Amino acid sequence: MKNSLTFEEQTECIISYLLEDILNPQAPIASRSLSCDCETDSGGAGFFDEAIIAGRLRMLADEFNKEVETTAQAVITEFTQEKAKAILQDKVKSLCAQDSTLASERAFLGMLVKLVVCVAEKAPEIARQLVTPMTTMINENSGIRDFIKGEGGWEHVESC
């Protein structure tokens, strides 16, 4: 029987896969497998696929065409492992605050992914260190957790 993953474990699998996919897009899919096969908390087997969910998050991020170049550079410049979560959270909130239509949790999640994509393009070594801060930020943000759970869990988060 497959083990059931908690929300936190699912988040870690998704963020790890997402960053690996961003940093190594040509890597064979088999070599990127993170062994996150599971039954969801609702007991349904086979619905949780971190590759599909990471793809949806990337599509969500693509909806945000705002210029994040300067913000990505600020993350890189200010980055320390101790401050990583605070820096990410501050920068994403700042980007969302610039446009009142980006006040939702969905926008926050999309902008977070978009920012990490930009950081990965400029400084892959820093992007690799963002798995834990991103996972922690999502898991500890009740608004984001409630949004994801309200959609039916990670496996139901859609880009549209």
- Provide block-wise average pLDDT over 10 residues at a time, the chain (160 residues): 76 92 74 47 60 89 71 80 80 75 76 86 88 89 88 78
pLDDT (0 to 100) of residue 104: 79
pLDDT (0 to 100) of residue 12: 93
Total-model pTM? 0.74
pLDDT (0 to 100) of residue 85: 80
Instruction: List the domain range (segments joined by +) for residue 14.
Output: 7-152
Q: Scanning the structure block, which residue is given the tokens 């820093």? A: 126
Residue 160 lies in a domain: no
Contacts of 89 (CB under 8 A, 6+ apart): 137
| 128: CATH | 1.10.437
pLDDT (0 to 100) of residue 87: 81
Residue 17 lies in a domain: yes
pLDDT (0 to 100) of residue 36: 58
**110 token code pair:** 């999309």
Residue 45 lies in a domain: yes
**138 token code pair:** 């999502």
pLDDT (0 to 100) of residue 67: 60
d(CA 57, CA 156): 11
Per the structure, the count of domains in the chain is: 1
Residue 54 lies in a domain: yes
Residue 77 lies in a domain: yes
- Per the CB < 8 A criterion, the answer to whether 155 and 47 are in contact is yes
